[in-house]
Structure 1
């Protein structure tokens, strides 16, 4: 990839999160010198990524793969084209970085609750999105509301109608595929959480508040990604 490749726009998010290989970084920085729109986006997104700078932990090898997978879901802007409405394009970029930041924090902290993300990305934003698909599902711990936005590439889980999981316990959200489960967030009975879109089934289990590396209880909810 070089500075003139149309796909170079898709490197914007990983660049802000410092998740590029040296050659990719050089290509994108060359592109930045010629693209005022991307320079503006980088300036806007820096505060969302800055929250990651305070963590003392080193990212695991799988982190870049997670961030790049999210980047691949963004729609690249074609060279020479400007978005029809810049105000409408910037929030979706900020939401993408917020989702990637949440993935970074989860990857660094294991069961860490994904609360340190761009404050523009809330469950309310997801549930009010024009393309949201909302499901209200019963569980033995009460009703849970799930909303998915393809445009934002995130899923919101609203647990405000669920009951207290008990002392020392919390609800954990997973993407479960054959042979693999990935923890993407945790919440209490009066909370909501926004997680990146994934593959397989969306699971909610009851786990210790510190989080679990793999589910330790049967899913309270299992919802295929294809039905979201």
Structure 2
């Protein structure tokens, strides 16, 4: 596989639509190509935001209709043609593929409200945590609804915290994320909506993550019971 061909695998790599040989080649390539690293991070951030978006319940008959059509429809492989295109052109098409897959999932399982998401300013850090060899994914449900998924890497000292469908708060309050250990609770940031993503440092003594309801500007220490607790086992 040529260097130019490896460059075109960013979107397929994010969607896990590559062979084992392609995955190994692209993983090696990522170590020396910051451009592809940024594109992988951007694609993953887009897919994560779409996947974590708040949804409305679809028609209860929709899922059964789709599954019925699948069983009755012959699956024909796509025709493949040889085409020369620049790496940038392929990346543009691949971005559309990532968004298209997420959008298709939204059609099946509910509508998307992008405005409800909290931005994570460090998409590259998301990749670092998710791809860490010791990455551990933990999930917990909230006491009043919603859930949180926490991915941790002790080797890299980071945690990726994603919340979904936490109950909406009034304008005077936000959700505050805490990383808690033997030294007490340390603030990891604020979420101004019920669904959002944060990448935060993970202290060596941290043994749990908590989310509380605090004033909009945040608090130096938790002032209310946690709405979600995630033990970092």
TM-score by length of 1: 0.44
Larger Rg: 2
| More RCO (CA 8 Å, sep 6+) | 2
TM-score by length of 2: 0.43
